[in-house]
Amino acid sequence: MQLFKFHNPEYLYLLLLLPVLIALMVFNTWQTKKKIKSAGEQTLIRGLIPEFSFFRKNLKFFFRLMALILVIFLLARPQFGSKLEEVKREGVEVIIALDVSNSMMAEDIQPNRLERAKQAISSLVDRLQDDKIGLIVFAGDAYTQIPVTTDYISAKMFLSSISPGIVPKQGTSIASAINLGISSFSPEMDESKALIIITDGENHEDDPLPLAEQAAEKGVIIHTIGIGSTSGVPVPVGGNGRRDYLRDNEGNTVITRLDEKILQEIAFATGGKYVKASNTNIGLNTIFNEISSMKQQELEGTIYTEYDEQFQILAAMALIILVLDILIMERKNRKLSKIKLYDVRV
């Protein structure tokens, strides 16, 4: 169900021009100030150009920038859903359990394990059509980030905010992720359920295999993706220009290693597939092919089938701003500048 959308979202890429325009404006202002400063004594220079105003110039630029932003959004055609309909379609339910423990910040997969996994999940969401997707994050415990939904745009939006800081308990509990995943599928789904676990496999809590067997009994197929190096790498930490590596209580550098064995056993126990990620291929494409071959089940959902255009408000706001830009002169009005409400003499 998608309440709001852009009919032509490709126009939003034009917003990338804004930093360039702002940088050019700042550079132009700096150059102008530099020339004025080098021209001679400042009091004399100001007397020669009494009508010149940096404030008015910057204000007009601000108005034009706001108008440009509104026009870009106008071209993208914002729309609000106006008519809801119940729909039935054939698909599967996919829940992704993403490891957000500190070890996922290791950089043996570029830019790091977690960011690369998020990029791959985003690409997977783009390929889904009639399926439902949910997202679980886990470290020392598991948490539902997105309940199963067909709202792919919201799923991608929530995905971008994921980091190790969103969970209160660190560690790695794959068992908790499987347990929460089992209970997160829709009650009416008796098959066509896939749980994808993306982790470095360093399980620090309960044995996940009994829960994997329980998942198999309930018709859940678990696919696992091992992300990281089996030889081990340190975990970078720090900020404000300082760089260090994660250390244990004794001050030793923590080395994180991919544990493929446990992930292979979990996948095997449920009839799923294990894939080892690399810099060029996380493995979600392989898993997607496995999911596509699963038996499809009828899914019910509510979607907006009609949308109302919202460009009128943006067009009116842009017009008002452009009128203000025209009314405000770039230079001071010579006649108005002579009006003094107070005549202070010392």
Residue 317 lies in a domain: yes
Instruction: Specify if 256 maps to a domain.
Output: yes
**62 and 98 housed in the same domain:** no
User: Is position 344 within any domain?
Assistant: no
Residue 38 sits in the same domain as residue 161: no
76 in Cβ contact with 8 (< 8 Å):
yes
For the ranges 13-17, 165-169, 338-342, the lowest mean pLDDT is seen at: 338-342
46 within a domain of the structure (yes/no): yes
Domain count, the chain: 2
Output the DSSP codes for 77-104.
-EEEEEEEEEEEEEE-EEEEEEE-SGGG
Can you spell out the DSSP letters for 28-43? HHHHHHHHHHHTS-HH
Q: Are residues 60 and 99 in the same domain?
A: no
The token pair at 151 is 């709202």
Outline where DSSP puts E strands in 69-204. Answer: 78-91, 93-99, 132-138, 142-149, 193-199
Length of the chain: 346
Same domain, 214 and 251: yes
User: Does residue 158 belong to any structural domain of this protein?
Assistant: yes
pTM of the model: 0.65
Answer whether residue 222 is part of any domain: yes
325 alpha carbon, distance to own chain's centre: 35
CB within 8 A of 180, min separation 6: which ones? 97, 136, 138, 142, 143, 144
Burial class (CB in 10 A: 0-12, 13-18, 19+), 201: buried
Q: For residue 66, tell me if it sits in a domain.
A: yes
Are 220 and 272 in the same domain?
yes
pLDDT level of residue 326 (50, 70, 90 thresholds): confident
Q: 120 pLDDT exceeds 50? A: yes
| Whole-angstrom Cα Rg for the chain | 29
Taking the C-alpha atoms of residue 295 and residue 284, their distance in angstroms, rounded to an integer, is 19
Of 90, 89, 94, residue with least CA distance to 221:
94
> CB-based contacts of 41: which residues, under 8 Å, 6+ apart?
none
| Whole-number pLDDT of residue 19 | 92
Q: State the distance between the two ends of the chain, measured CA to CA, in whole angstroms.
A: 71
How far is C-alpha 286 from the chain's CA centre? 23
Residues 113 and 16 in one domain: no
User: CB-side exposure of 174: number of CA atoms within 13 Å?
Assistant: 30
**Residues 267, 317 share a domain:** no
Q: Which CATH number does the domain housing residue 211 bear?
A: 3.40.50.410
The phi and psi torsions of 294 (rounded to 5 degrees) equal -70, 155
Which of 220, 172, 174, 162 lies closest to 195 in space, CA to CA? Answer: 220
| Position 87 in a domain | no
Higher pLDDT, 249 or 94: 94
63 in the same domain as 97: no
Q: Do 135 and 19 have their domain in common?
A: no
Instruction: Express each pLDDT in 104-117 by its tens digit.
Output: 998 888 889 999 88
Give the domain range for residue 8.
4-80+308-337
Tell me the mean pLDDT in the region 62-80.
Answer: 87
Domain co-membership, 197 together with 245: yes
pLDDT confidence of residue 175 = 93
Q: Say if CB 59 and CB 66 are below 8 A apart.
A: no
